[in-house]
């Protein structure tokens, strides 16, 4: 939305102008408010902050306002400043000293978790692929035994085998799987 489009809407109807601004920038304002308030505020606090932002924008919005064709920048600045004010108010109300920079520290901690989760996911994918390489019924037996914690008797019923045959196949499948996993570079003790 440009400055000229905003002026045309304002000349036509103030309510239409306000509605158009809200519809176009609501998600943008919510994202800014959430990113500032996520460490100290509730969902209601974020929504209240968004309402405050639009009230400030509507008060400042008139035919004489010059945005220099940067309406989004103006709205972003109002949203950021209002969110920071809300952050300070909420932090002082909860008698907890916090700084806006605290958000970046939490994000850095999350990066470590993402790396670890990605490695575990990749390892799980390799393990599952190696289990599938065993072929049926061995792969079915291993999956049911380790992923679904089923007993040999329960597995035997589902694949039409005797419990003794399931135990024997399970033992052989585990030996094959250990070899396949070692070849893939996965040798964790207690895995199988």
Q: What is the pLDDT of residue 155?
A: 84
Query: What is the model's pTM?
Result: 0.47
Judge contact between 103 and 35, C-beta under 8 A.
Answer: yes
Q: What is the pLDDT of residue 105?
A: 46
Long-range CB contact pairs, 141-149, < 8 A, 24+:
141/166, 141/169, 141/170, 141/173, 142/170, 142/173, 142/174, 142/177, 145/170, 146/192
Residue pLDDT tens, the chain, 192 long: 666 777 777 778 778 888 888 888 888 889 888 888 888 878 888 899 999 999 988 888 765 666 566 777 788 888 889 988 888 888 877 655 445 555 544 554 444 455 566 667 777 888 888 888 888 888 888 888 887 788 888 888 888 888 898 889 889 988 888 888 888 777 765 555
Cα–Cα dist 42/32, whole Å: 14
Give the chain's domains with CATH numbers. Answer: 3-93 (1.10.1740.10), 113-183 (1.10.10.10)
Q: What are the C-alpha distances in Å from 176 to residues 15, 151, 170, 191?
A: 72, 20, 10, 13
- What's the burial of 184, exposed, middle or buried (CB within 10 Å: 0-12/13-18/19+)? middle
Closest CA to 170 of 182, 162, 61: 162
User: Which residues have C-beta within 8 Å of that of residue 71, sequence separation ≥ 6?
Assistant: 1, 2, 3, 6, 21
């Amino acid at each position: 939305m440009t400055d000229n489009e905003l002026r045309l809407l304002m000349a036509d109807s103030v309510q239409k102008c306000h509605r158009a601004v809200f519809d176009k920038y609501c998600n943008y304002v919510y994202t800014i408010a959430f990113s500032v308030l996520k460490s100290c505020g509730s969902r209601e606090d974020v929504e209240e902050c968004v309402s405050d932002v639009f009230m400030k924008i509507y008060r400042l919005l008139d035919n004489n306002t010059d945005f220099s064709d940067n309406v989004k920048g103006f709205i972003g600045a109002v949203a950021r400043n209002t969110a920071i004010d809300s952050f300070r108010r909420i932090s002082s109300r909860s008698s907890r000293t916090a700084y806006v920079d605290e958000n970046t520290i939490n994000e850095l901690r999350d990066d470590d978790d993402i790396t670890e989760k990605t490695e575990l996911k990749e390892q799980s994918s390799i393990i599952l692929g190696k289990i599938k390489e065993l072929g049926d019924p061995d792969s079915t037996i291993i999956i049911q035994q380790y992923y679904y914690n089923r007993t040999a008797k329960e597995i035997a019923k589902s694949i039409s085998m005797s419990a003794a045959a399931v135990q024997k196949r399970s033992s052989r499948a585990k030996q094959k799987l250990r070899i396949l996993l070692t070849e893939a570079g996965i040798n964790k003790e207690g895995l199988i």
